[in-house]
Homo-oligomer: A and B are copies of this chain.
Amino acid sequence: MKKIVFGHRNPDTDAIAAAKAYSYLKNQLGEETEAVALGTPNEETKYALNYFNEPVPRVVTKALPEYPEVILVDHNEAQQSIEDIREVTVTDLIDHHRIANFETAFPLYAHLEPVGCTCTIIFREFERHAVEIPAHIAGLMLSAIISDTLLFKSPTTTEMDQLVAEKLAEIAGVDCQVYGLEMLKAGTNLATKTAEELITADAKSFEMGGKTVRVDQVNTVDLDEVFAREAELRQAIEAQNAAEGYDLFLLMVTDILNSHTRLLVVGEPQDVVEKAFATKLVDNKAELPGVVSRKKQIVPQMQQAF
C-alpha cells in the first residue's frame, strides 16, 4: 500500500527535504512512498529544489481515503500535521522536536534525536540501511541542515549536524559556505512580500503569564532594507494584535550574515521585554547581537521574565 511522507504545515526546507530524502530511502528498501507537502515551499526551499533539479512536491491537506498509512518527518504535534492525522496510521516518525499532542493506535518505527535538523537523523537512517545517498538528495539534505542551523550559527547546531553536513556537501559536490549563503539569501527576498505576509509567514503564538505573545522571525541580509518599511509593519502588527487578541508581538528581524537580531515590539507589557534581554527599548526597538534562535534565545528568556 502506497504511503505519503510529509513534514509540517508552513513547510520550511527541512520539512520538504526530509520528506524527499526519507521517501527515497523507503523506496530503495522496497516500499512504495511519495513525498508530499502540507503547503507550498518558501523561496529558500524553491531555490534548493531548483538548484538540485528536484520537482516541487504536490500539496495535500488530507491523507484519506487514498492513504490510510502515512509517514511523518520534522514534526509530530497534531496541530502542525495533516488535517486527518487522527484517523490515519503513522508507520514511521523521524523528528528532532519534543513529543507532544501525538498519539498512535499501533506501535511504529520512530527515530528522534535532539539535533539541529531532521535530515541529520535521516543521514543516519541511510547509514543504518547501507543505502547510498544520490547527489541530488544529499544536496537537499544539506540545504535543510544549513537552513535549520543558519549555516551552523544557531545555538541549536550540534556536532553531529556539522559532521553530517560535511559528508553531504562532499556527496552533493558543493561548497557548503558558498552554496549555503546563496541559498539563505534566496530566502530573504522580502521585496515582493506584503507586510501582512512578513508578520505571518513564520509566526508562532505562546502563552506567557496569562498573556498571548506572538513571535515572528524574518531573515534578511540587510536590516535597514526591512526597517525602511517599519511604519507599514507596525500598522500590520497593530491590526493583527487587535484582530487576533495578541497582547504582545515580537518581530525578530534577523541578519543571518552577522548573527544579529533587531527586535520590533508592539503591544504590552514592554517592560518584560526589557527585563528579558537586559536592554532598553528605543522607539519600540532593541538590538540583540548574537541572537538568531527564537527557540533558544527568545522564548525561554521571555518565559523567565514573565
- Which residues of A are at the interface with B, using a C-beta cutoff of 8 A? 96-115, 128, 295, 300, 303-304
B103 and A114: CB pair below 8 A? Answer: no
Nearest CB of B to A292, in Å: 16
* Interface pairs A-B: 6 shortest CB-CB: A107-B114, A110-B112, A98-B104, A100-B103, A99-B104, A105-B303
Nearest CB of B to A117, in Å: 11
List residues of chain B with CB within 8 A of the CB of A102.
Answer: 99, 102
Nearest CB of B to A216, in Å: 20
B111 and A107: CB pair below 8 A? Answer: no
List residues of chain B with CB within 8 A of the CB of A98.
Answer: 103-108
B113 and A300: CB pair below 8 A? Answer: no
A107 to B96, CA, bound (A): 6
Nearest CB of B to A80, in Å: 14
B107 and A295: CB pair below 8 A? Answer: yes
List 13 contacting pairs A-B, 8 Å CB cutoff, sorted by A: A98-B106, A98-B108, A99-B102, A101-B103, A102-B102, A105-B303, A105-B304, A107-B113, A107-B114, A109-B112, A109-B113, A110-B110, A110-B113
Closest to A303 in B: B105
Copies in the complex: 2
A80 to B97, CA, bound (A): 23
Most chain B CB inside 10 Å of its own CB: which residue of A107, A128, A295? A107
CB < 8 Å: which of B105, B108, B114 contacts A108?
B114
List residues of chain B with CB within 8 A of the CB of A109.
Answer: 112-114
Closest to A113 in B: B109
Contact of A300 with B112 at beta-carbon distance under 8 Å, contacts A99-B99, A128-B128 already known: no
A108 and B104: CB pair below 8 A? Answer: no
Nearest CB of B to A176, in Å: 24
Most chain B CB inside 10 Å of its own CB: which residue of A99, A108, A295, A300? A99
A99 to B300, CA, bound (A): 21
A100 and B110: CB pair below 8 A? Answer: no
Nearest CB of B to A149, in Å: 14
B114 and A106: CB pair below 8 A? Answer: yes
A103 and B107: CB pair below 8 A? Answer: no
List residues of chain B with CB within 8 A of the CB of A113.
Answer: 107, 109-110
List residues of chain B with CB within 8 A of the CB of A112.
Answer: 107-111
A111 and B111: CB pair below 8 A? Answer: yes
Closest to A156 in B: B107
Closest to A304 in B: B105
Q: A98-B104, A102-B102, A108-B114 are in contact. List 7 more A-B contacts (CB 8 A).
A: A98-B103, A98-B105, A99-B99, A99-B104, A100-B104, A109-B114, A111-B111
Nearest CB of B to A183, in Å: 24
List residues of chain B with CB within 8 A of the CB of A303.
Answer: 105
